[in-house]
Structure 1
Amino acid sequence: MLPKEKIDRINELSRKSKSVGLTDAEKEEQQQLRKEYLQTFRSSVKNTLQNVTILDPKGNDVTPEKLKKIKNKRLH
């Protein structure tokens, strides 16, 4: 998870860009922070999916084969 200070800074830059605009340095900082946020978010989603087992209403494992292979690689 991204530190609260960085999320606060992303929000601060977003508000400023809508009201008065950003300097070139602030635009670059905003892009870098957004990139870091997306990497963290994607990593979190990927990790969550790698730990999920999908069951149908009857309780049968219907996890996609691709996901099962990824899980098996992590365990070995």
Structure 2
Amino acid sequence: MVSSRRSVADASTLTGWFKSSYSGGGNGECLEVARGQATVPVRDSKAADGPAVVFSADGWSSFVKAIKGGEFSG
């Protein structure tokens, strides 16, 4: 299901999705991450059957650390 291109065309084929605790309360900017996979698929919660970006476990950990450290200020 997960391609070597670091994406999944139809994220609904994966199970274990949960919404990020940092996502807003509305239906705006929400991410979901799938647990129980060898890699870390991430999708837009509004597009459950759309694509997902796939991170390595180390890549996802580094990304989350950078977010928490304020490296991506808007």
Q: Which has the larger radius of gyration?
A: 1
Higher relative contact order (CA 8 A, sep 6+): 2
Give the TM-score category using the shorter length: under 0.3
Task: Determine which structure has the larger strand proportion and give its number.
Answer: 2
Task: Determine which structure has the larger helix proportion and give its number.
Answer: 1
Q: TM-score, normalised by structure 1?
A: 0.27
Q: TM-score, normalised by structure 2?
A: 0.28
